[in-house]
Amino acid sequence: MRTLVLAAAAALLVTGCSAEPETPPPPPSIDFSVAAKTVSAKPFLYCTVEINECKRDTTAQVKLEAAPGTPVRVRVPKQVADTPWSVVIQYRTAAGEQREPETVATFGPGKQDTFEAKPPAAGDQLQTVEVKQAGGKLVQGESGPEAVTRGVWSAAVEPA
């Protein structure tokens, strides 16, 4: 009987050691749309929740065409919508002034899965629309603790 118990324990130990690690799910894609045209973007930066391992894909930025004043719709999957996420835009004013990137929306977990990124004024031209997903790590920011970005998806917007 003792030999049988030892053999079963040894089999469990060998099975446990030889089991392959669980493969993480693939990174989610995000949809960017202008009028009837939709493109799906892979993340150009995607990290583990703890931000201890990150992968970059410098070819992941998608391209869209939009006339000045035209918004870009963003749709995130549940995997992103169930976490804090934000939308950042960069644009050129109708007068030709280049503006720095600015966060135009931030959402809590499960609050929203779509957003329409609009240029601030009718003649302004969006140039970049990005979605940033917060990770599970905090750092001290200027106004208190801030979540480190886990994932970034980007669309370059060309004038139509």
**Cα 55 to Cα 45: distance, rounded to the nearest angstrom:** 6
Instruction: Specify the pTM.
Output: 0.85
Out of 24-28, 55-59, 105-109, least confident range? 24-28
Between the alpha carbon of residue 97 and those of residues 123, 129, 130, the distances in Å are 12, 17, 20
Task: Give pairs for 95-102: CB < 8 Å, separation 24+.
Answer: 101/128, 101/130
Q: 9 or 33: whose pLDDT is higher?
A: 33
Residue 157 clears pLDDT 80, i.e. is over it: yes
Return the pLDDT at 7.
Answer: 42
